[in-house]
Amino acid sequence: MSFRKVLFFGAAMVFGLAGSARAQLGVYGMYSGERFTGITCPTYAAPCGTSTGAVKPYGGTAGAYYDFMNVGPVRLGIDARGNFLRADKRADSSAGGTDIIRQYEVLGGVRGSIRTPKHWLRPYAEIAGGYTRNNDVGLYTFTTTTTTFSPQTTPPTAPFVTSTVTYNPALNTNYFLVKGFVGVDIAIFPFLDLRAIELGEGEAFGTPTNSQSVSSAVVVNPITGVTTSTTNVVTGTTTGPGSHGMQSISAGIVLHFPRPTR
């Protein structure tokens, strides 16, 4: 989502809902960078795109909040947001290229902004849960083929074993996500704030892929009478645990109506 589209979407929501002026509605667009950690780079995949076990996608975030209750100096509300991030380097292989990493997030939660002596300065905090889908962790498939002969030839022929490794960077994994945010909004105009910075920290919980299948075939040579037995063992695995740490940093603008009451 381009920044221009974020602004247009925000303006439409703000002025379209202006009739509920008693509420504090805010619509925001941000540019975000994230760090998704806990990815293992196996030795057979070296050299990898990164050596830290982390990918660092970046892109746009759009969201809206609705503040409706005062508790002392804190204004409470709800928040919903989504983003689309991308990166050009992987952490689990040497594969790389434009937007080889694609990551989506949808989150909803509760937030609180704090009234300060400086009317133009409004820090806030939020706790949110939701869903993220990404291909940060790819699928490695190991195929081991064992061929044996019966009866044994003269001289005897040992079983013939071959192994291959294939890699699928397009595997998408779904994670449940819990994340906390802190940030600061700075008033510029009565309807516009600068979101100077927002920091996020959280954890994504999913299930790593670990599967195995076995297939076999038997072929009898009608001339020699030799039976050839072939067994294929296919093991699929992703390089990482079932949970991953996530950190983010963002900055952008907030459109709102009306101004927060003091």
Domains and CATH numbers, the chain: 3-135+172-206+242-257 (2.40.160.20), 137-171+208-239 (2.10.60)
Q: How far apart, in whole angstroms, are the C-alpha atoms of residue 207 and residue 70? A: 40
**With a cut of 50, which residues of the chain have pLDDT below it?**
1-22
* Strand pairing report for 96-114 and 121-134: antiparallel
Query: 138-187 pLDDT, tens per residue?
Result: 888 889 998 887 876 667 667 778 888 888 888 899 999 999 999 999 99
Q: How far apart, in whole angstroms, are the C-alpha atoms of residue 11 and residue 112? A: 23
Q: Are 234 and 209 in contact (CB under 8 A)?
A: no
Residue 227: the pLDDT is 85
Tell me whether the omega of the peptide bond preceding residue 222 falls within 30 degrees of 0, making it cis: no
What is the separation of C-alpha 61 from the centre of its chain, rounded to a whole number of angstroms? 13
Q: Which two tokens stand for residue 205?
A: 């919980």
Q: How far apart, in whole angstroms, are the C-alpha atoms of residue 228 and residue 230? A: 7
Query: 17-39 pLDDT, tens per residue?
Result: 333 334 589 999 999 999 999 98
pTM of the model: 0.79
Query: In this structure, how many other beta carbons lie within 10 angstroms of the beta carbon of residue 35?
Result: 17
